[in-house]
Amino acid sequence: MHDAPTETKACLNCGKGLAGSYCSSCGQAAQSPLKPLLEFVQESLSEVLSLDGTQIRSLRALLTKPGLLSAEYLDGRRTHYVHPVRLFIVVGVVSYFVTTLFPEQRLLFSMGPVLFGSEAVGVEFLFLAAIIPVGALAHWIVLRRTIPFFLGHLVFVLHVVAFSFVLSPIEAVLSWATATRPVLSLVGLVAPLAWAGYWLAALSRVLGGTFREALKPALFIYILFVTFLGPFAWLVDSGWF
């Protein structure tokens, strides 16, 4: 173990003299990185899960204004919102752990069962690893004249999948609550339908058109998406994963 003071006289990052709790040159905290494990864990969780104005604004936009985060990112207005990758990871981690509280209702983040009909835990991560680049590729092929850069479609897919993360715990709770009531079991269809409606609404906002105008490109995107994932789905159904 290393015995280090909680405060240092010089910034450990840039070496400049310290006159407060943060370095006036690079902004790093003056505290030593060597601290008790519990304090480190608490600090890490606070850093990841703390809700500041940017995160609250991003979550509100993600949930109530489909496609706004993607449209703002593509238009260059990025400082007011959380980075797409960070938002994707944080929402995904929270959603995953909440969903695990209902093990009998494990769902592949709402969209998995629609394609594969499987509830194997290991498939979730393979599915996510496939859906993001494949989904972005399908969007790029259909919409490349409108949005020529692949990154724009990747950001869009990250935001749409992040919304599906929010649906997963809701879907799990509904499935658990209606497990003994067959009449209400159709409630499980709410999440996939909500995701489809969200995707179309987000697509129409990004393209600057109406919901109806987004239907045609959405159909082609979905056909390409399912076609590209076909081999993976066959491997899953064949027991390779």
Q: 162, 130, 136, 134: which is closest to 149 by C-alpha?
A: 136
Angle between helices 84-99 and 37-49 (to 10 degrees): 110
Residue 63 in any domain: the answer is yes
Span 197-211, pLDDT tens digits = 999 999 999 998 888
Structural domain contains residue 91: yes
Contact between 203 and 214 under an 8 Å Cβ cutoff? The reply is yes
Average pLDDT, the chain: 76
Question: Could you report the per-residue pLDDT of 72-131, keeping only the tens digit for each?
Answer: 999 888 888 888 998 898 888 888 777 777 665 544 444 443 333 444 444 566 677 778
Write down the pLDDT at residue 44.
63
Note whether residue 18 is domain-resident.
no
pTM exceeds 0.75, yes or no:
no
Count structural domains, the chain: 1
Q: What are phi and psi of 166, to 5 degrees?
A: -65, -35
- Judge whether 16 lies within some domain: no
- At residue 169 the predicted structure's pLDDT band, cuts being 50, 70 and 90, is confident
Q: Which domain holds residue 177?
A: 53-237
